[in-house]
Structure 1
């Protein structure tokens, strides 16, 4: 059995997605290629990377059946083309509720084979002044438990955006080496809580956290916070992109992971 390398390069793609599916896929493809050229072996796209509608229900006509559709074909092709592990942000998947979709993250291995799926469980709701959001209008909460998959460097936990506020969700994954979080945090909530919550999840789970975000002003008037980031198990920021399209990139350092857990074995000290 081949030895696992100590470093594994990962990247979080940041987009400012529009209402045009073809444009969004093309722009994502360019960024994936750039990140792969920079050495990224695992790449994460943001939530809604394929489409940011003008209203909640605009995404319904784009929903795909599991296993087929242009968005899923794009993701599989990109993983295969670049020989990467690709965490496909989120895309709308069909279910038996005609008025709502699953907001789903699909994971593809370097052969283009889908190896994991997670449907967003926690649905964002926010109401303050002129700013109001209710994801439950068009999204059905996932019925699956927290999902993980095995990458070459270790175990990866899947989460989406608002999940970040629920620490018990991440504990239920068990011990993981990396948490990935595609997101579209609003400017209001992101400026207040994004980095604090991400660093907390990294510190308390003693793992890397890779968060890919929407980052800018969208056609629908919404402004997203951005700050796609890689955070290490001590809570230190490895790389961050504040705003605009691009990516944050860095290494999963298995020696760093081991050293943090050995010097402060909090995971072993848990009593409940």
Structure 2
């Protein structure tokens, strides 16, 4: 989707996507980072529109889940933060009955200067989270993250090898320069090294005059194969089936969890002998 500063417009688009997902027989719909709001000026700081997770805007998304009988992955909501100037970038999982299944607050904040002269300083209006999150769902055990987290493989190792995740959710709002260079490459790497499905819902197209998102939402299987994808401007859904038996088969044939444990043990022994 292509979010804007108009929360009503964005909710309308999400409602259309939910209806499409329901008609397609989906159990779960994943929405990108900033699905509810994308400011188009420095005066529209996310902190100015932030709400608590029990506030009126989130209640409408919970109703959207109930109306369509869908689980929702709400990939980056502007949650009211610790003070008036800072939010939490919060990934929320909503059950089909409208109840909250899990929340995760983005740990790695995007403070970077990208090629082309754009400067992003997420920490100027966002406070980081401090813990990882996994939860059960109809499509498997979910490992939650948000966008810039993608560049830190240790987070996904934690979700997979400690948390037991089968599906890694990576809702994103990559810019065109970084997305064209790194987005799919990093997504496929996380899928392969963790032997998990990866679902990456992404912002796409021209959000406002100074912001073009990369798009290319996709679903990737544990072998690194792209099962479904969107383009760089399209609004809509990409549908894929999550096969838990396939996850188990991949992990059985290439037992990297066992090899990882053995390798860590050998390294510790080696360290003790030095």
Instruction: Tell me if both proteins adopt one fold, taking TM over 0.5 as the criterion.
Output: yes
Give, in whole Å, the separation in 2 of the partners of 1:129 and 1:86.
35
Instruction: Report the number of matched residues.
Output: 256
Structure 1 position 176 matched with structure 2 position 162: no
Matched, 1:69 2:56: yes
Corresponding residue for residue 262 of structure 1:
252
* Corresponding residue for residue 8 of structure 1: none
**Distance in 1 separating the partners of 2:70 and 2:122:** 31
Query: Could you say which structure has the higher helix fraction?
Result: 2
The counterpart of 2:81, out of the listed 78, 95, 102, is: 95
**Alignment partner, residue 214 of structure 1:** 203
| Alignment-derived partner of residue 21 in structure 2 | 35
Is the 8 Å Cα contact of residues 179 and 207 (structure 1) preserved in structure 2?
yes
The partner residue of 1:137 within 108, 111, 124 is 124
Q: CA deviation at 1:28?
A: 1.0
Which sections of structure 2, spanning at least 5 residues, go unmatched?
A: 265-274
Query: What SS does structure 2 have at the residue aligned with 1:249?
Result: coil
Higher relative contact order (CA 8 A, sep 6+): 1
Question: After superposition, where does 1:88-237 map in structure 2 within 5 Å?
Answer: 88-127=74-113, 128-143=115-130, 145-173=131-159, 174=162, 175-237=164-226
Which protein is bigger by CA-based radius of gyration? 2
Distance apart, 1:64 and its partner CA: 0.7
TM-score by length of 2: 0.90
Give the Cα separation in 2 of the matches to 1:176 and 1:92: 25
Q: Tell me which residue corresponds to 2:268.
A: none
Using the TM superposition, give the Cα deviation of residue 180 of structure 1 relative to its aligned residue in structure 2, in angstroms: 0.6
Deviations 1:37-78 (A, max 9, x none): 1111011100001111023552222111231222x1122111
Matched-pair contact (CA < 8 Å) for 1:102–1:141? yes
For the Cα contact (< 8 Å) 1:55–1:220, is it kept in 2?
no
How big is the alpha-carbon RMSD for the aligned residues of Structure 1 and Structure 2? 1.3
The offset of 1:142, in angstroms, is 1.2
